[in-house]
Amino acid sequence: MAGTGLFAEILDGDVYKYYADGEWKKSSSAKTVAIINPTTRKTQYKVQACTQEEVNKVMESAKTAQKSWAKTPLWKRAELLHKAAAILKEHKAPIAECLVKEIAKPAKDAVTEVVRSGDLVSYTAEEGVRILGEGKFLVSDSFPGNERTKYCLTSKIPLGVILAIPPFNYPVNLAVSKIAPALIAGNSLVLKPPTQGAVSALHMVHCFHLAGFPKGLISCVTGKGSEIGDFLTMHPGVNCISFTGGDTGIAISKKAGMVPLQMELGGKDACIVLEDADLDLVAANIIKGGFSYSGQRCTAVKVVLVMESVADGCVFTKDVNKAILISDAMETGTVQINSAPARGPDHFPFQGLKDSGIGSQGVTNSINMMTKIKSTVINLPTPSYTMG
């Protein structure tokens, strides 16, 4: 059960602790935030209401821990991520229980989210070793007017402290989709989970704690957005913000200043149905796309655009050429052909345009956006060419 056995450490009486400096702590505020069970409409859980001073301490610890973590070999980072993934999947039942009680996620889907999250963490570890283990070597004479007197070595280095803010509907999966890329890239991470979904996230964070990550590298602060929300997103110690949600993301982007942003803010998710579409396929996907998980998904179908000649029946298209032409003409981040809008598998790029988001998600894209390029140039006294 949630908050028992392996997870007993994260609970104090009937209030869940927050995570900082490798320890589970009670807030000095002595205040709590209630989490309402959407099914019973009664208080299911309580979490700590962290203070701004506690956020300051978390940021300082994250900054210190990141410097050491950046010197940790890639294989060791990956090893710890694999360990966290295994613990997460082994203890899927209590985490899934939290998802059911906090956000009313169906039991089967709740288990699927936890297992999927473990798989995402492991995949990210492997992908990170591959793409971060490579750099570029450039020579100066490839640009007109230059002799070969300079060698340029480029590599991807961490940004520093990543602030991760996942949404209520996938509080575990969309948290680890930020945590794992941040850690494999050598960053530290501060997680601010949604209120509805916070206890699920705290159980997930404990899996990373049990895996043995260094103190201060991962933190999870809970509390009221009105008290610590803007304080977190505008904190000078934050070097990157990864946010999934709605219009709040637009407000964050205006306040965040000169830090990289990864924003997924939902969209209109229209289905376009042409004359030659398989009507049974269309109907099934529109129903699934619009109403699965009660429509509580950023990719839920919200608009259906149907050619008048088949409006009574509805449709996608069997003509791939038409599908590609329409896809190319659309100003949108992702087009699904003959399927409802969806995010994933988790290594697929996922992005929006305009108010729908900034940057791109997906394992590889997230790792890349949580790094920056560093160049080291070697200057030679005279031109040097390899003779073979």
* Catalytic sites, residue numbers: 264
The closest of 305, 318, 217 to 269, measured between CA atoms, is: 305
Q: Are 207 and 180 spatial neighbours (Cβ–Cβ below 8 Å)?
A: no
Distance (Å, rounded) from C-alpha 96 to C-alpha 109? Answer: 8
Q: Are 232 and 55 spatial neighbours (Cβ–Cβ below 8 Å)?
A: yes
- The length of the chain in residues reads 388
The closest of 192, 180, 12, 170 to 99, measured between CA atoms, is: 170
Distance (Å, rounded) from C-alpha 340 to C-alpha 301? Answer: 7
Query: What tokens were used for 133?
Result: 């283990």
Amino acid found at 317 = T
Q: Examine residue 144 and say whether the peptide bond preceding it is cis (omega within 30 degrees of 0).
A: no
Q: Are 92 and 152 spatial neighbours (Cβ–Cβ below 8 Å)?
A: no
CB atoms within 10 A of CB 345: 12
- Cα 256 to its chain centre, rounded Å, is 18
Q: Are 104 and 115 spatial neighbours (Cβ–Cβ below 8 Å)?
A: no
Q: Are 316 and 281 spatial neighbours (Cβ–Cβ below 8 Å)?
A: yes
